[in-house]
């Protein structure tokens, strides 16, 4: 009896075990980490009901295709998610150690508070030893240490490719809008006349009529570009021609096509391509060893129809703008020239002559100024400067038959003496091209500004109280816009955007809708873009950033788990150049940091940029390079453990 009973018992156990195998397989697939919270799996059914294929669902949610397939067939049960530690505090206790670390590095209390996103009062009291850490609940309305990311106060250098690479842009110039208005050899223009003016053979263009200023000229608007900043740029250039120029104050983006020479002239018919209302300035420069002399061209369509092109005369030795402004129809073709009155073979001069000649109407304005002290010729350039708070129009501006003379009044070989420098700005890119002809003594010089890539428009941060809660904000005047959101990885936050009106979960132009709380997309249109952070399930912290531009390189979302304090995960992009960023999300209650470095794996002590707040959601960047390189990015646990998601972008 006992033996038979034992055999029956074993048989029953084997039968039960065998019958449970499919269920066991449906509960756990060892190669996949659980996607938390479990409610995120409901999105598979939702998207399938919307008509998406299994492959499209897997791509949209960033889920393995095998999980999507099995889930829809009903033979996959999500593995259980680990229970979040509800006792953890909004700011991990260990994060306060960063206060001492940064103080030891020489940062002030204000700088420490900004770097860590801590209240200044806590930093001050902690360093004085009279702040006692108080453990709090992880449920809160406004998390301690919450702050918005603040972009660099000074524009950062844009990558500058080698000159030979820049010249390859000339393949585009024939297609540019500017070229439709400018021919290298216009039939009604004899370039020898400009040359004769430059060498001093003539002072007036034959048959020219005198310029008559408009009535009440003193009441008309006058261009006020910040050309004084050119002096700072040139002083930097003089220190080291091989060092990339970096902006020292905001306000403009500018490019300079530089050549040797003392006397310079050119012609242009692209005044109407300038950004209107004195927001963009096409400039012909003559540089002495000290100071600046130039003709500044602006486009002012709001003025009377026949007075919309304005040519301002600027002489730094006379205090800046001289008060002489030539106003002509912007659609006309113009010859302009600057002639420092130095003797043949000499570089010194005490007088300088300016010419503005309207070729269309045959009207000439010219004037000789006496300088307060002797100046010495140095070099010349063609510049395009732009107000960095206004979106550029991407149209080409052209100086044709650009021609310069040396101290012996001989023609300069422009191709052999060309250098390019720029006043960089995150808001826009300085683009240029050069074409030489006439034994390289003449050139067609083209420049334009295009919207910059990687400029941080704004950032927001906060908390979502629970499933269904949202936060909406907007940006205007930018396109394309890349939106990035990083949230609590113990929840599932999504991202929506719509042009012209606030989005909903069923009415949007773009969305990020994965099983993670790291979401991003790029969208283009005009007007105001409304952005909404939405909790699909759960509560917690989030940060959101809007950047101008469409990234040229996207590493794709990377994810995993950091096991504890000191744990790291490192990734890299494909090779490129430009402005690099990385973003990461993580669980509330942990303190994850983010580091990026070009061309080599980074360490916590060796990086180009870092995100180093007390949160687990971080941005690192921008970090720029002009070389073709990989961008490495590392997620690091300063304290705590949990799931993360991260991505690297290059603009």
DSSP of 566-631, one letter per residue?
T-EEEEE--SEEEEEEEEEEB-TTSEEEEEEEESS--BTTB-SEEE-SSSS-EEEEEEEEEEEEPE
Q: pLDDT band for 246, please (50, 70, 90 cuts).
A: very low
**CATH number 3.40.50.2000 given to 551-651:** no
Are 326 and 295 in contact, with CB atoms under 8 Å apart?
no
Give the C-alpha separation, 104 to 613, whole Å. Answer: 17
Residue pLDDT, tens place only, 174-208? 333 333 333 334 434 568 899 999 999 999 999 99
Mean of the pLDDT values across residues 552-559? 94
Residue pLDDT, tens place only, 262-295? 999 999 999 999 998 888 999 999 999 988 999 9
Across 58-72, 312-326, 395-409, the highest mean pLDDT is recorded for: 395-409
Name the burial class of residue 647, with classes exposed (0-12), middle (13-18) and buried (19+) by CB atoms within 10 angstroms of its CB.
buried
Q: pLDDT band for 367, please (50, 70, 90 cuts).
A: very high
Give the C-alpha separation, 113 to 108, whole Å. Answer: 9
Q: What are phi and psi of 40, to 5 degrees?
A: -60, -25
**pLDDT at position 305, please?**
56
Cβ neighbour number for residue 61 with a 10 Å cutoff: 22
**Domain residue spans in the chain?**
2-73, 163-242+253-451, 453-539, 551-651
Q: pLDDT at residue 242 above 60? A: no
Q: pLDDT band for 83, please (50, 70, 90 cuts).
A: low
What are the Cα distances from residue 131, in Å, to 21, 67, 119, 127, 317? 57, 50, 12, 8, 58
Residue pLDDT, tens place only, 507-533? 999 999 998 999 999 999 999 999 999
Least confident segment among 119-123, 347-351, 579-583, 639-643:
119-123
Give the C-alpha separation, 578 to 651, whole Å. Answer: 6
Mean of the pLDDT values across residues 122-129? 86
Q: pLDDT at residue 159 above 60? A: no
Give the C-alpha separation, 445 to 482, whole Å. Answer: 33
Give the C-alpha separation, 380 to 395, whole Å. Answer: 24
Name the burial class of residue 38, with classes exposed (0-12), middle (13-18) and buried (19+) by CB atoms within 10 angstroms of its CB.
middle
Q: pLDDT band for 548, please (50, 70, 90 cuts).
A: confident
**pLDDT at position 179, please?**
35
Q: pLDDT at residue 136 above 50? A: no
Question: Collapsing DSSP states into helix, strand and coil, what is residue 25?
Answer: helix
**pLDDT at position 152, please?**
43
Mean of the pLDDT values across residues 124-140? 62
Tokens encoding 203: 């002072």
Q: Whats the size of the chain, residue-wise?
A: 651
Q: Which of 507, 512, 485 has the alpha carbon at shortest distance from 584?
A: 485
**pLDDT at position 228, please?**
47
Q: pLDDT at residue 577 above 90? A: no
**pLDDT at position 277, please?**
84
Are 324 and 367 in contact, with CB atoms under 8 Å apart?
yes
Mean of the pLDDT values across residues 312-316? 93
Q: pLDDT at residue 602 above 70? A: no
**pLDDT at position 282, please?**
96
Q: pLDDT at residue 154 above 90? A: no
Q: pLDDT at residue 540 above 70? A: yes
**pLDDT at position 138, please?**
33
**pLDDT at position 237, please?**
43
Q: pLDDT at residue 404 above 60? A: yes
Mean of the pLDDT values across residues 452-480? 91
Q: pLDDT at residue 424 above 50? A: yes
Least confident segment among 179-188, 231-240, 617-626:
179-188
**pLDDT at position 63, please?**
82
**pLDDT at position 244, please?**
38
What are the Cα distances from residue 1, in Å, to 5, 6, 15, 171, 355? 6, 9, 21, 97, 122
The proportion of the chain whose per-residue pLDDT surpasses 90, expressed as a percent, equals: 52
Q: pLDDT band for 96, please (50, 70, 90 cuts).
A: confident
Which 3-state string (H, E, C) describes 104-123?
HCCCCHHHHHHHHCCCHHHH
Q: How far is CA 486 from the centre of its chain?
A: 20
Phi-psi region at 210: left, alpha or beta (left = phi > 0; alpha = psi -120 to 50)? beta
**pLDDT at position 307, please?**
63
Does 478 or 498 have the greater pLDDT score? 498
**pLDDT at position 318, please?**
94
- Mean pLDDT (the chain) is 81
Give the C-alpha separation, 524 to 498, whole Å. Answer: 10
Q: pLDDT at residue 545 above 60? A: yes
Does 133 or 18 have the greater pLDDT score? 133
Q: What are phi and psi of 44, to 5 degrees?
A: -60, -50
Q: pLDDT at residue 81 above 70? A: no
Q: pLDDT at residue 647 above 60? A: yes
Q: pLDDT band for 426, please (50, 70, 90 cuts).
A: low
**pLDDT at position 620, please?**
96
Q: pLDDT at residue 4 above 50? A: no
Q: pLDDT band for 621, please (50, 70, 90 cuts).
A: very high
453-539 and 551-651: identical CATH topology:
yes
Does 566 or 129 have the greater pLDDT score? 566
For CA atoms 638, 559, 533, 84, give the dihedral sign.
negative
Tokens encoding 434: 């050069």
Does 568 or 185 have the greater pLDDT score? 568
Are 434 and 257 in contact, with CB atoms under 8 Å apart?
yes
Q: pLDDT at residue 88 above 90? A: no
Cβ neighbour number for residue 102 with a 10 Å cutoff: 19
Q: pLDDT at residue 573 above 60? A: yes
**pLDDT at position 380, please?**
97
Mean of the pLDDT values across residues 483-497? 97
Those residues with Cβ within 8 angstroms of residue 643's Cβ, 6 or more apart along the chain or in another chain: 33, 36, 489, 490, 559, 560, 561, 586, 587
**pLDDT at position 306, please?**
60
Q: pLDDT band for 568, please (50, 70, 90 cuts).
A: very high
- Total-model pTM: 0.54
**CATH number 1.10.443.10 given to 453-539:** no
Mean of the pLDDT values across residues 483-494? 96
């Amino acid at each position: 009896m006992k033996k038979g009973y034992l055999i029956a018992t074993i048989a029953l156990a084997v039968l039960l075990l065998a019958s449970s195998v499919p269920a066991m397989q449906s509960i756990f697939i060892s190669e996949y980490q659980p996607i938390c919270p479990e409610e995120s799996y409901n999105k598979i059914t939702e998207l399938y009901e919307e008509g998406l294929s299994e492959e499209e669902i897997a791509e949209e949610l960033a889920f393995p295709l095998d999980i999507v397939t099995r889930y829809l067939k009903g033979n996959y049960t999500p593995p259980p998610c680990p229970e979040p530690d509800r006792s953890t505090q909004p700011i991990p206790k260990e994060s306060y150690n960063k206060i001492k670390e940064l103080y030891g590095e020489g940062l002030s209390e204000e700088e420490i508070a900004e770097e860590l996103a801590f209240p200044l009062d806590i930093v001050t009291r902690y360093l004085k030893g009279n702040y006692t850490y108080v453990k709090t609940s992880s449920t809160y309305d406004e998390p301690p240490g919450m702050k918005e990311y603040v972009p660099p106060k000074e524009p950062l250098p844009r990558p500058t490719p080698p000159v030979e690479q820049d010249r390859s842009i000339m393949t585009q110039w024939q297609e540019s809008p500017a070229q439709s208005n400018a021919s290298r050899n216009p039939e009604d223009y004899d370039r020898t006349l400009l040359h004769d003016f430059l060498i001093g053979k003539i002072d007036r263009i034959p048959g020219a009529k005198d310029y008559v200023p408009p009535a009440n000229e003193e009441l008309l608007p006058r261009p006020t570009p910040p050309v004084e900043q050119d002096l700072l740029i040139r002083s930097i250039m003089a220190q080291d021609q091989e060092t990339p120029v970096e902006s020292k104050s905001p306000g403009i983006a500018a490019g300079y096509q530089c050549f040797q020479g003392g006397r310079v002239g050119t012609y242009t018919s692209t005044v109407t391509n300038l950004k209107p209302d004195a927001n963009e300035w096409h400039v012909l420069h003559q540089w002495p060893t000290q100071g600046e002399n130039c003709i500044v061209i602006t486009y002012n369509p709001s003025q009377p129809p026949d007075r919309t092109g304005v040519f301002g005369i600027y002489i730094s030795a006379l205090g800046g703008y001289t008060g002489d402004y030539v106003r002509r129809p912007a659609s006309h073709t113009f010859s302009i020239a600057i002639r420092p009155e130095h003797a043949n073979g000499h570089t010194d001069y005490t007088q300088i002559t300016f010419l503005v000649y309207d070729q269309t109407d045959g009207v000439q304005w010219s004037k000789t100024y006496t300088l307060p002290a002797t100046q010495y010729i140095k070099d010349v350039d063609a510049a395009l400067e732009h107000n960095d708070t206004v979106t550029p129009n991407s149209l080409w501006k052209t100086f044709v038959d650009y021609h310069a003379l040396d101290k012996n009044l001989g023609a300069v070989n422009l191709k052999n003496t060309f250098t390019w420098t720029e006043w960089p700005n995150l808001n826009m890119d300085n683009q240029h091209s050069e074409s030489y002809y006439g034994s390289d003594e003449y050139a067609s010089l083209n420049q334009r500004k295009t919207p910059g890539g990687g400029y941080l428009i704004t950032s927001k941060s906060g908390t979502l109280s629970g499933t269904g809660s949202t936060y909406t904000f907007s940006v205007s005047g930018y396109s394309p816009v890349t939106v990035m959101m990083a949230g609590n990885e113990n929840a599932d936050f999504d991202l929506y955007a719509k042009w012209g009106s606030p989005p909903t979960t069923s009415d949007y132009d773009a969305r990020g809708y994965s099983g993670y709380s790291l979401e991003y997309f790029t969208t283009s249109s005009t007007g105001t873009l409304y952005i909404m952070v939405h909790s699909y399930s759960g509560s917690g912290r989030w940060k959101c950033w809007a950047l101008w531009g469409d990234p040229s390189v996207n590493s794709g979302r990377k994810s995993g788990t950091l096991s504890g304090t000191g744990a790291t995960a490192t990734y890299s992009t494909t090779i490129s150049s430009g402005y690099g960023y990385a973003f990461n999300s993580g669980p509330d209650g942990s303190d994850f940091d983010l580091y990026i470095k070009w061309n080599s794996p980074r360490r916590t002590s060796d990086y180009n940029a870092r995100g180093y707040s007390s949160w687990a959601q971080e941005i690192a960047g921008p970090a720029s390079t002009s070389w073709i390189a990989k961008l490495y990015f590392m997620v690091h646990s300063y304290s705590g453990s949990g799931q993360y998601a991260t991505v690297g972008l290059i603009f």
